[in-house]
Amino acid sequence: MKQTVLTLQAKKAQGEKISMLTCYDYSTAKLMDAAGIDMLLVGDSLGNVILGYEDTISVTMEDMIHHSAAVARGAKSAFIVTDMPFLSYQASVYDAVINAGRIMKEGRSNAVKLEGGAIISEQIRAIVHASIPVVAHLGMTPQSVNTLGGFKVQAKTLDAARQLLSDAKAVEAAGAFAVVFECVPAKLAEYITSQLTIPTIGIGAGNGCDGQVLVYQDMLGMFSDYQPKFARRFAEIGSAMQEAFRLYRTKMQDGSFPSQEESFFIADAIIDQLKQEAAQV
C-alpha cells in the first residue's frame, strides 16, 4: 500500500511509529521499499555522504531533482520527501513555490522538506496552497551551520526550548503535515510531540517522537568522516564492502576471476580463421 499524508498522520493517531531513512538512488530505494520503510528522505545530506562536501550549503536544485527522480523510480510504497536545498526557498515565497514545484514535477517526490520555523511560515503556507505537502525541519538545521556556529545540540535553555515549541506550532499552523526534530533534548522533543497534531520525526531527538530518521550510510557503517552519537550502526556494511573490494582485486589478479562459467564462448574455428588471416597479411 502506498503511504500518503493520510496514512502517515493516521499512524500518529494510532500510536504506530513512522520509519524514515535517507535515500539517494534507485537500487537503495527498492531495498528500503521492500523492507517496509514508510518514508524515504532524499536529504540534502547527499552533499556530505554522496558528493563529499563538508556541509549541505553547495547542494543544488539539480542535485536534488536528479537523486529524487532516481529514488522515485525505485520506491513503490514508501512516501518520498525531498529536501529543498539552501537558498531555494529562503529568499522569497515565489522562489519557494517554483522550486517546490520543480521537485514535485521533475523529481517525482511526494513532499518537500524545508529547514526553519516561524520565519519561513509564509513559504510553507504558499507551498501547501500549491497542493504540495510540506515537512518542516527544526532544531539543528544543517543549512544554518554558519549561523549556529557548528553542528551542535539545540534548544537546551528555557528560551530556546520556548522558541522550538513556538516554531513547531507555527509550522503546524502554516500547514506542514509533519516535522523533523534534529539534535534536540529527548524530553523536549517528547513534550512538543504531545502538543502537536502532526507527526514528529526525530534524529538525535530521543524516542518520544512519532517516528525516527537516520542517514543510511551512518546506520550501515558506510561513512566514517564523523559519527554522530545518535547514529546507531545496525550493520557493518562499510567493512563488508571493503572486504569484497579486496577479494575482487585478489581474485582478478590471480586469474581466478572471471572463471569459465563467468565468460562467453565462440567456436574455435572462428578464432583459427582469424589467426590464419592475420598470418597472411
Asked whether position 83 contacts ligand KIV by CB under 6 A, the answer is yes
DSSP for 1-48, please give it: ----HHHHHHHHHHTPPEEEEE--SHHHHHHHHHTT-SEEEE-TTHHH
List phi, psi (to 5°) of 205.
-130, 25
Do residues 60 and 85 lie in contact, with contact meaning Cβ atoms separated by under 8 Å?
Answer: yes
Determine the Cα–Cα distance for residues 44 and 273; give it in Å rounded to an integer: 57
Scan for cell 592475420, then name that residue: 278
Q: Which of 124, 126, 174, 213 binds ligand KIV (CB under 6 A)?
A: 213
CA atoms within 13 A on the CB side of 211: 26
Name the residue nearer to ligand KIV (CB basis): 147 or 280: 147
Choose the stretch contacting ligand KIV; rule: CB under 6 A; options: 39-47, 66-74, 158-166, 257-265.
Answer: 39-47
Residue 80 DSSP one-character state:
E
Find the shortest distance in angstroms from Cβ 143 to ligand KIV.
Answer: 9
Find the shortest distance in angstroms from Cβ 204 to ligand KIV.
Answer: 9
Determine the Cα–Cα distance for residues 191 and 164; give it in Å rounded to an integer: 11
Asked whether position 205 contacts ligand KIV by CB under 6 A, the answer is no
Catalytic: which of 62, 182, 236, 243? Answer: 182
The 122-151 site mask, x for binding ligand KIV (CB under 6 A), equals: ---------------x--------------
Determine the Cα–Cα distance for residues 252 and 257; give it in Å rounded to an integer: 5
Choose the stretch contacting ligand KIV; rule: CB under 6 A; options: 32-40, 41-49, 97-105, 157-165.
Answer: 41-49
Asked whether position 182 contacts ligand KIV by CB under 6 A, the answer is yes
Catalytic annotation present for 182: yes
Asked whether position 180 contacts ligand KIV by CB under 6 A, the answer is yes
Q: Which of 12, 18, 39, 44 binds ligand KIV (CB under 6 A)?
A: 44
Q: Side chain identity at 163, as an amino acid letter?
A: Q
Catalytic residues: 182
Interaction site with ligand KIV (CB under 6 A): 22, 41, 43-45, 83, 137, 180, 182, 203, 213, 215
